[in-house]
Amino acid sequence: MSGSAWMLGACGMGVGPLALYLKGDGWEVSGWDDATGSPMELQLANGEVPLLRDPWAAGRRPTVVGRSSAVKPGHPALALAAGHGVRTLRRGELLAEAVAARRFVAVCGSHGKTTTCGLLVAALASAGADFGYVLGGLFRDPTFPPARASATSPWVVAEVDESDGTIGAFSPDVTVAVNLDWDHPDYYRDEAALEAVFRALFERTRSAVVIPVGNARLERLVAGLAVPVIRVGEAGDYSCRLVQGGHASSVVALGGRFPAGQFNLPVAGTFNRSNAALALAVTHLITGGLVAEPLARWRGIRRRQDVLFERTGLRVLADYAHHPTEIAALLQWVRETHAGRLLVVFQPHRHTRTRQYAREFRDALAVADQALVLPVYSAGEAAVEGGGSDAIVAGSAHRLVEDRRALPALLDALAEGADTVVAFVGAGDIERDAEAYAKVLRRRGEGVLTADLPDLVAGRLSADCVLRANEPLARRTTLGLGGAARWYAEPASVDDLVTLLRASAELDLRWFVLGRGSNLLVPDEGYDGLVLHLDAARWGAVTELGEGRFRVGGGTRLKELCGVAARAGRAGFEFLEGIPGTVGGSLRMNAGAMGGWIFDVVESIEWLAPQGRVRAARRDCFDALYRDCPQLHGAVVLSAVLRSPAAEDPAAIRARMDDFAARRRASQPREASAGCVFRNPDGDKAGRLIDLSGLKGRAVGPVSVSPTHANFLVNAGGAQAADFLALMRVVRAEVKARQGVELQPEIVALGREWKELL
């Protein structure tokens, strides 16, 4: 099976890997997501899967639309697909069709399936096997993609999800059931309904069902199956017995169907060893043997037992666990492998799950010395009675923390003077809290890091490359506020860029390309990543190619481009003259003014993809949207060829530029700003709506709504990002109340998503 697919929710951990698998399997694939900034976005860029709001407008003809179950009926993208008569499948349904002719290994269960699937992928890779796979997450090893297709092997490994019922679409060759607990009360009417879909999956399995030893529920559901049931664990068909457990590894004795002997496994804790044994058993089924280091490729899965910070006496972990049984297993692992106090920060996921399991959550968290419970992450659900975090803390020593900003100080006080593990647990956006706390600790200089960016790039950067720590960013933006970047670099060559990007990937370090700093809000806490700046001296060359064509560097200032074109007597660039940006940033944001857009004059673009490959493409390969070019997400624009539509007298061009500049001075404020803050709604202007709401002059501290143009929030001096955000909230609320329109931000919040800030 092959075709053309448009994948909705492509930046998520379910749809994104499937998009990459289909691309590798010969499909033409594009994607879209309402929320960007996910690590999956870089994976899509590496896999050359473009993000297109409307693939038909870009000349593509999808034959199927794959969607995350989070994309609900009524979404504009679904209406667009329906208008083109294209069928729509949920992620699980499309995966089932894609692997129907393969020997499919389905990894299923209530929790631990992503880790078990990843362990199985690592074990098969360690054995040198040829196979395809689709993971539901990201490996910690940046060189290990979340999906891969094989043109020569019939085997495909993937996890299948029961939460939306799509598990019913699969007929696997081998099914691996990690466990089964009552969950997803929002979808299944009762426990029996959930069990029925697993029993049906087992009955459709063609070769073998693999389960852990000692799971009573699974034993009941596999009773009487026509296919063999293979049990894994101590005294199982595939026997695995702990010999010695360590902090991060285990020595196990294998027997039964396994080749007998002792093996070192890079996992610790009962639950992880059980999952690893399941993976090794399936590897043996497929390959017929085991290598001496059966999990040599294993480095772990992101958001699963991640160690974010460590020094003597303190370790900070983050984990995706969100079911009581899963949390209990995680905390048991912490107790088994770490001594000292255990502090847990828990964010419940979904109101229905919280109501169903409030008591079980309370009991699971009792393993901790202190549990801090955050408000429920709703995942789009409406609140239900009994489904709040207060139901978990009721009658216990657990503490409800309503204001997440208080977490660092609270954790400092609780961890003081003790050997402590702090575990951030949950499937919502709690990873932001975990990263923020780890950043606070790092900036105090407390941690003992095994490696940081300078260590990985030492001796590999050119002598002209600039690399600095804790670089203030306020002076590098037109708004003039915000904190510092953890790392700041001015690469002098493409080789410098490749070195910095690859080192960032190895460290799982976020990065951002900064031009002139317009249309950008830097948070007060700064940016815990690498900021790259292509300075005009090295990246700002403008070369005339003849016939009205210019090659311009990614660091070229738009004002400089306009001046060169005017002197050469080439028209068509004048509208760019007053935009305080660079060519690279203007292409990423599809900058425009005075009725013109940068992509109106683009012939081709050359850019560096995240994995370090230089790529180039003509204009028709880019989807130029309002203030966005999705194909350049995660890219560094190196240069572009721009074409002037006409020759003209230089004096006439200069006069037009002067006219545009005068109009801009008359209509836009001169104070420090980030440009227009909000997107224009369809058929209207954000500035008009703000003005109609009587908000000109409204202020929060030194930040005010400009009396000259209401869509500009200006900094009178000494402002903080918190002031700017507070005024944005005021403006949005007033416009929504008075005009019935909810304004959406046009500017970028560095390192953050607007849904968290507004």
Q: Tokens representing 185?
A: 């009360």
Number of C-beta neighbours around residue 724 at 10 A: 29
Name the β-bridge partners of 103.
Answer: 155
3-state secondary structure 47-107: CCCCECCCCCCCCCCCCEEEECCCCCCCCHHHHHHHHCCCEEEEHHHHHHHHCCCCEEEEE
Q: Are 302 and 138 in contact (CB under 8 A)?
A: yes
- Mean pLDDT (the chain) is 89
Q: Where are the domains of the chain?
A: 1-92, 99-301, 306-443, 453-533, 537-665, 670-757
pLDDT above 90 covers a percentage of the chain that reads 56
Name the β-bridge partners of 6.
Answer: 30, 65
The rounded distance, in Å, linking the Cα atoms of 322 and 329 is 11
The rounded distance, in Å, linking the Cα atoms of 196 and 178 is 16
Whether the per-residue pLDDT at 44 is higher than 80: the answer is yes
Whether the per-residue pLDDT at 263 is higher than 60: the answer is yes
The rounded distance, in Å, linking the Cα atoms of 213 and 279 is 14
Q: Does domain 306-443 have CATH number 3.40.605.10?
A: no
How would you list the strands of the sheet with 699-700, edge to edge? 699-700, 703-705, 713-715
304: left (phi over 0), alpha (psi -120 to 50) or beta: beta
Structural domain 453-533, CATH architecture: 2-Layer Sandwich (3.30)
Strands (E), 312-369: 314-319, 341-346
Which of 4, 3, 8, 2 has its CA nearest to residue 52?
Answer: 8
Residues 6+ apart with CB under 8 A from 194: 162, 180, 182, 183, 184, 188
- What pLDDT band is residue 693 in, cutting at 50, 70 and 90? very high
Fold of 537-665: 3.30.465
Strands (E), 272-320: 306-311, 314-319
Q: Tokens representing 718?
A: 């000494």
Q: For residue 526, what pLDDT is reported?
A: 93
- Rounded to 5 degrees, φ, ψ at 205 are -70, 135
Name which of 173-182, 315-324, 695-704 the model is least confident about. 315-324
- What pLDDT band is residue 445 in, cutting at 50, 70 and 90? low
Residue found under tokens 């899965």? 301
The rounded distance, in Å, linking the Cα atoms of 165 and 194 is 9
Question: Under CATH, to which class is 670-757 assigned?
Answer: alpha beta
Q: Are 456 and 507 in contact (CB under 8 A)?
A: yes
Residues 6+ apart with CB under 8 A from 121: 133, 135, 157
The rounded distance, in Å, linking the Cα atoms of 353 and 338 is 29
- Rounded to 5 degrees, φ, ψ at 687 are -60, -40
Name the β-bridge partners of 106.
Answer: 158, 175
Q: For residue 192, what pLDDT is reported?
A: 86
- What pLDDT band is residue 1 in, cutting at 50, 70 and 90? low
The rounded distance, in Å, linking the Cα atoms of 152 and 49 is 22
pLDDT digits (tens, 9 = 90+) for 275-312: 999 999 999 999 999 999 999 999 888 877 778 888 88
Q: For residue 193, what pLDDT is reported?
A: 86
For residue 554, give the amino acid letter: G
pLDDT digits (tens, 9 = 90+) for 599-622: 989 999 999 887 677 888 888 778
Q: Tokens representing 260?
A: 């007998």
The rounded distance, in Å, linking the Cα atoms of 390 and 358 is 9
Q: Does domain 99-301 have CATH number 3.40.1190.10?
A: yes
Helix (H, G, I), strand (E, B) or coil at 146: coil
Q: Are 198 and 211 in contact (CB under 8 A)?
A: no
Distances (CA, A) of 91 to 17, 107, 136: 10, 15, 11
The rounded distance, in Å, linking the Cα atoms of 552 and 559 is 12
Whether the per-residue pLDDT at 684 is higher than 90: the answer is yes
- What pLDDT band is residue 201 in, cutting at 50, 70 and 90? very high
The rounded distance, in Å, linking the Cα atoms of 694 and 54 is 36
The rounded distance, in Å, linking the Cα atoms of 50 and 30 is 5
Q: How buried is residue 192: exposed, middle or buried, by Cβ count under 10 Å (0-12/13-18/19+)? A: exposed
Distances (CA, A) of 205 to 119, 154, 174, 200: 21, 16, 6, 9
What are the counts of helices (DSSP H) followed by strands (DSSP E) for the chain?
22, 38
Q: Does domain 1-92 have CATH number 3.40.50.10860?
A: no
Whether the per-residue pLDDT at 596 is higher than 80: the answer is no
- What pLDDT band is residue 112 in, cutting at 50, 70 and 90? confident
The rounded distance, in Å, linking the Cα atoms of 580 and 591 is 10
Q: Are 213 and 179 in contact (CB under 8 A)?
A: no
- What pLDDT band is residue 443 in, cutting at 50, 70 and 90? low
- What pLDDT band is residue 451 in, cutting at 50, 70 and 90? low
Q: For residue 691, what pLDDT is reported?
A: 96
Helix (H, G, I), strand (E, B) or coil at 356: helix
Q: What separation, in Å, do the N-terminal and C-terminal C-alpha atoms of the chain show?
A: 44
Name which of 91-105, 619-633, 654-668, 716-730 the model is least confident about. 619-633
Whether the per-residue pLDDT at 76 is higher than 70: the answer is yes
Q: For residue 246, what pLDDT is reported?
A: 73
Whether the per-residue pLDDT at 36 is higher than 70: the answer is no
Distances (CA, A) of 682 to 32, 135, 679, 693, 742: 20, 38, 9, 18, 12
348: left (phi over 0), alpha (psi -120 to 50) or beta: beta
CA dihedral 544, 546, 551, 556 (to 10 degrees): 40
- What pLDDT band is residue 449 in, cutting at 50, 70 and 90? very low
Greater confidence (262 vs 382) lies with: 262
pLDDT digits (tens, 9 = 90+) for 330-354: 888 888 877 789 999 999 998 998 9
- What pLDDT band is residue 626 in, cutting at 50, 70 and 90? confident
* Averaged pLDDT for residues 738-755: 91
Q: For residue 593, what pLDDT is reported?
A: 75
Give the helix/strand (H/E) hosting 543: strand 542-546
Residue found under tokens 């016939």? 547
Helix (H, G, I), strand (E, B) or coil at 748: strand
pLDDT digits (tens, 9 = 90+) for 391-436: 999 989 899 999 888 888 899 888 877 789 999 999 888 888 888 8
- What pLDDT band is residue 447 in, cutting at 50, 70 and 90? very low
